[in-house]
């Protein structure tokens, strides 16, 4: 529990809590981006450089932009920003507490907290690449297929409208 971990944890939790609590949709997305950056910093603190920087590149650079585009395209300026607290706050907080209890007990009893003093493995990018090509090649190929399908689907959706207007 070093100081840096505490600071990063506060930033992450604060960002994501603000993402839920703010009224303006764009402010929520920006706060969520702060949460993403906090998670990336936590990865970096754990020594996982590749994952940390990929987190920034993918989440902050792509997912946040995607969310932002979605808001820009669909934002209804006349929408009244309703109150943040919903009517069913009691049921919601009971469900949230139950989920938290389950997760906390699962993590607390898992192997990660039992072996606190194992040496930190130095995972280089080369090892990640090797395992992707040897051990995890099938998931890699399936992901490639899924991404290709998504890309083609996006092109088809975008192209359909152009065909109609011809």
Partner 1 sequence: MTQMFDQIFVIAKHWLLGYVPAVAQPLASAILSVVPVLIAFPLLFAITTVLERKGLGRIQNRYGPNRTGPAGFFQPIADGIKSLTKEDIVPLSADHIVHFLAPVLIVVAAFMAYAVLPIGRNMVILNLNAGVLFFFAIGSVVELSVFMAGWSSRSKYSLLGAMRAIAQMISYEVPLVLATVVVIMQAGSLSTVTIVERQAGYTGIWPHWYLFTPWGIVGFVLFMIAATAESNRSPFDLPEGESEIIAGYYIEYSGFKFALFFLGEYLGMFATSGMAITLFLGGWSAPLSVFTFVPSWIWFFAKLLVLIGGFIWIRGTLPRLRMDQLMNFAWEFILPMSLLNMLIAGVWHFMAPGVVRWLVCSAIIATPCILLSAGLRKKKRLMVRTYEFAE
Contact positions vs partner 1 (CB under 8 A): 24, 26-27, 30, 33, 49-50, 53-54, 56-57, 60-62, 64-65, 68-69, 72, 124-126, 165-166
Nearest to 125 by CA among 52, 37, 41: 52
HSE-CB at 113 with a 13 A cutoff on CA atoms is: 7
Q: Which is nearer to partner 1, 69 or 89 (CB)?
A: 69
Encoding tokens for residue 154?
């996006």
Give min distance, CB of 27 to partner 1, in A: 7
Q: Which is nearer to partner 1, 9 or 67 (CB)?
A: 67
Give min distance, CB of 136 to partner 1, in A: 19
Q: Which is nearer to partner 1, 93 or 124 (CB)?
A: 124
Give min distance, CB of 33 to partner 1, in A: 6
Burial, 79: exposed, middle or buried (Cβ in 10 Å; 0-12, 13-18, 19+)?
exposed
Q: Which is nearer to partner 1, 16 or 50 (CB)?
A: 50
Give min distance, CB of 46 to partner 1, in A: 14
CA dihedral (67, 70, 72, 75) in degrees, to 10, reads -120
| Cα–Cα distance for residue pair 3/11, rounded to 1 Å | 12
């Amino acid at each position: 529990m070093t100081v840096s971990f505490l600071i990063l944890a506060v930033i992450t939790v604060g960002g994501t809590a603000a993402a839920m609590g703010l009224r303006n949709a764009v402010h929520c997305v920006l706060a969520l981006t702060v949460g993403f950056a906090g998670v990336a910093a936590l990865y970096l603190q754990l020594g996982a450089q590749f994952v940390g920087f990929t987190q920034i590149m993918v989440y902050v650079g792509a997912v946040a932009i995607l969310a932002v585009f979605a808001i820009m395209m669909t934002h209804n300026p006349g929408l009244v920003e309703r109150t943040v607290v919903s009517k069913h706050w009691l049921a919601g907080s009971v469900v949230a507490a139950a989920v938290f209890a389950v997760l906390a007990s699962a993590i607390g009893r898992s192997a990660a907290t039992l072996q606190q003093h194992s040496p930190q493995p130095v995972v280089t990018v080369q090892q990640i690449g090797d395992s992707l090509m040897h051990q995890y090649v099938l998931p890699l190929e399936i992901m490639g297929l899924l991404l290709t399908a998504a890309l083609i689907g996006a092109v088809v959706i975008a192209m359909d409208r152009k065909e109609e207007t011809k």
